[in-house]
Amino acid sequence: MNLQIRDPRARELAERLAKKRKVSMTEAVIEALEEKLSREEQAEAPLQERVMKIVDRLHAIKGGEGRDMTKEEIDEMWGH
């Protein structure tokens, strides 16, 4: 399939992204649209749900056996 982009700005952006990712312009446009749609859908989710997804991913990476921090440790971490 041959992608035809008539708008010069859109074509330039597609070419730049394709070159940067080392993919075809069609693939670059598809990936960019999928990423944008994903971000739009995530933005529609409630904040607590988005935060919990991040927490779950971090637990999967590090494990959930950390310890609670004291107020003093938190203050020190933030430079208070």
- Alpha-carbon 66 to chain mean position: 26
Residue for token digits 């992204």?
A: 17
Q: What is the pLDDT of residues 52-67, one digit of tens each?
A: 989 888 888 776 667 7
pLDDT higher than threshold 80 for residue 13 = yes
pLDDT at 1: 64
Task: Give the residue-averaged pLDDT of 71-80.
Answer: 88
pLDDT at 63: 65
Spatial distance between the Cα atoms of 26 and 5, rounded to a whole number of angstroms: 10
Q: Which residues contact 25 (CB under 8 A, 6 or more apart)?
A: 3, 5, 14, 15, 18
